[in-house]
């Protein structure tokens, strides 16, 4: 399944926890679009032999910041370089402040058929603390508008575990989403990443740091509430109603090749070559003005490729497929993974089902640590 990720590196303002690549200065937005059109034409890494695209994902940054005309030009460039399968999933990340009946109609007309909405919380104090630009009321309004717009597939992002978020606020956030029967929900623990405003806030006032024990308890609430509401917990941070999984993200997790366009975007050939574009808007534009693709690449060793596969697949409901591991890396490797998992299975953090090693609910919050122990 072939997919393209397009990184739109602009935001209206900087959220305090965010370490993605973006600029709040939009003076180069038009030049960026021109450069992206050039890259779309020149860069076919990982997709050289691909005849049709199954998924397109506009991420960022804030893709909903683009004008309808800019998005139209990007979609036209994709159509010129690829056949986009008629049933392709085409997702746009959108923030509540950019969502209105006109923008929704424009996006549908462009062929975008899935939205990922950055709601994060419905609590105004928490949103203000995160330096989000929208209010809880804005999010409710935009969910009403999406529900009556013709978009049947959409996802909402929620953040849990901020120091301002009580258990009651989290429960209310989940209740609002379940009221809308939101088809897909992504839930992330707040983390204090390096070089973010949040990191500075915590340096000055350590009481603002997220508490890992509280976050583990909140993750338990998210998991039990959403699964009891009929959501499938199909990846550590992702929950979907039946048939509403993200096809684009699922293809990352199953190791499929993908091409990333735009500054900071990553690409993978599905085997061992990983590329990433320069994370600087001006240099990205300058390079493409000269017709040069601005990327670096690394060739993964067999150990690195295997470890990555373990790290992403352990996070999914399907778990680590021992038969596939046996086929690709040999019986010895499958045996090693099984024996390394033994203590976790005995302690109830993992289970072996149908030749697949899966995390139990108790193991899910410890996913990264368990994966690291299984690395070769």
Q: How many residues bind ligand SF4 (CB under 6 A)?
A: 11
Task: Please tell me whether residue 125 adopts helix, strand or coil conformation.
Answer: helix
| Stretch in the footprint of ligand SF4 (CB under 6 A) among 33-41, 60-68, 73-81, 336-344 | 60-68
Tokens of 139: 């999010």
Compute the least distance from the CB of residue 46 to ligand SF4, in Å.
24
Is 15 near ligand SF4 (CB under 6 A)? yes
Task: Please tell me whether residue 29 adopts helix, strand or coil conformation.
Answer: helix
- Residue from 1, 20, 34, 317 touching ligand SF4 (CB under 6 A): that is 20
Nearer to ligand SF4, 95 or 186 (CB): 95
Is 18 near ligand SF4 (CB under 6 A)? yes
| Stretch in the footprint of ligand SF4 (CB under 6 A) among 8-16, 27-35, 201-209, 268-276 | 8-16
Task: Please tell me whether residue 336 adopts helix, strand or coil conformation.
Answer: helix
Tokens of 190: 């707040």
Query: Angle 154-59-22 (CA atoms, 0-180°, nearest 5)?
Result: 140
Nearer to ligand SF4, 62 or 277 (CB): 62
Nearer to ligand SF4, 131 or 254 (CB): 131
What number of CA atoms fall less than 13 Å from residue 281's CA on the CB side? Answer: 22
Is 118 near ligand SF4 (CB under 6 A)? yes
Residue nearest to ligand SF4 (CB): 18
Is 60 near ligand SF4 (CB under 6 A)? yes
Integer angstrom CA distances of residue 11 from 59, 98, 237, 272: 11, 11, 23, 32
d(CA 110, CA 94): 15
| Stretch in the footprint of ligand SF4 (CB under 6 A) among 56-64, 139-147, 175-183, 287-295 | 56-64
Query: Strand pairing partners for 184?
Result: 155, 240
DSSP symbol at 14: -
Nearer to ligand SF4, 119 or 259 (CB): 119
Is 22 near ligand SF4 (CB under 6 A)? yes
Nearer to ligand SF4, 237 or 316 (CB): 237
| Stretch in the footprint of ligand SF4 (CB under 6 A) among 10-18, 41-49, 63-71, 121-129 | 10-18
Compute the least distance from the CB of residue 42 to ligand SF4, in Å.
26
Pairing of β 153-160 and β 232-235: unpaired
Tokens 């699922």, residue located: 250
Is 180 near ligand SF4 (CB under 6 A)? no
Nearer to ligand SF4, 97 or 269 (CB): 97
Are the C-beta atoms of residues 30 and 67 closer than 8 Å to each other? no
Backbone angles phi, psi at 53, to 5 degrees: -85, 135
Is 112 near ligand SF4 (CB under 6 A)? no
Concatenate the DSSP letters of all residues of 211-228 into one string.
PHHHHHHHHHHHHHHHHH
Is 62 near ligand SF4 (CB under 6 A)? yes
Nearer to ligand SF4, 3 or 96 (CB): 96
Tokens of 7: 């990184």
Stretch 68-107: interaction string toward ligand SF4, x if CB under 6 A = ---------------------------x------------
Are the C-beta atoms of residues 321 and 313 closer than 8 Å to each other? yes
Nearer to ligand SF4, 71 or 357 (CB): 71
Task: Please tell me whether residue 183 adopts helix, strand or coil conformation.
Answer: coil
Nearer to ligand SF4, 187 or 305 (CB): 187
Is 61 near ligand SF4 (CB under 6 A)? yes
The number of residues making up the chain comes to: 376
Are the C-beta atoms of residues 220 and 236 closer than 8 Å to each other? no
Tokens 């203000």, residue located: 128
**Residues making contact with ligand SF4 (CB under 6 A):** 11, 14-15, 18, 20, 22, 60-62, 95, 118
């Amino acid at each position: 399944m072939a997919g393209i990720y397009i990184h739109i590196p602009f935001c209206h303002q900087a959220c305090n926890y965010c370490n993605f690549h973006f600029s709040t200065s939009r003076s180069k937005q038009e030049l960026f679009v021109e450069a992206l059109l050039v890259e779309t034409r020149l860069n076919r890494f990982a997709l050289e032999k691909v005849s049709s695209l199954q998924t397109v994902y506009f991420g960022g940054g804030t893709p909903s910041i683009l004008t309808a005309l800019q998005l139209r030009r990007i979609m036209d460039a994709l159509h010129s370089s690829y056949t986009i399968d008629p049933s392709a999933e085409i997702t746009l990340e959108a923030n509540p402040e950019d969502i209105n009946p006109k923008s929704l109609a424009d996006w549908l007309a462009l062929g975008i058929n899935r939205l990922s909405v950055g709601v994060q919380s419905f609590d105004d104090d928490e949103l203000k603390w995160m330096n989000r630009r929208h209010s809880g009321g804005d999010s409710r309004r935009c969910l009403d508008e999406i529900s009556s717009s013709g978009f049947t597939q959409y996802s909402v992002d929620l953040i849990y575990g901020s120091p301002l978020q009580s258990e009651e606020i989290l429960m209310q956030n989940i209740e609002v989403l379940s009221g809308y029967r939101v088809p897909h929900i992504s839930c992330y623990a707040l983390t204090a990443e390096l070089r973010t405003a949040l990191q500075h806030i915590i340096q000055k006032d350590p009481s603002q740091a997220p508490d890992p024990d509280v976050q583990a308890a909140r993750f338990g609430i998210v998991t039990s509430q959403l699964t009891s509401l009929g959501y499938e917990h199909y990846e550590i941070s992702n929950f979907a109603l039946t048939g509403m999984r993200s096809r684009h993200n699922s293809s990352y997790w199953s190791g499929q090749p993908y091409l990333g366009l735009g500054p900071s975007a990553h690409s993978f050939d599905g085997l061992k070559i990983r590329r990433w574009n320069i994370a600087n808007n001006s240099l990205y534009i300058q390079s493409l003005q000269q017709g040069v693709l601005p990327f670096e690449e690394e060739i993964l060793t067999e150990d690195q490729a295997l470890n990555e596969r373990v790290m992403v697949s352990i996070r999914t409901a399907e778990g680590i497929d021992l038969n596939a591991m046996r086929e690709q890396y040999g019986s010895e490797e499958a045996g090693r993974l099984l024996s390394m998992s033994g203590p976790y299975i005995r302690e109830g953090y993992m289970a072996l089902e149908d030749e697949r090693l899966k995390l139990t609910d108790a193991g899910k919050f410890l996913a990264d640590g368990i994966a690291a122990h299984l690395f070769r």
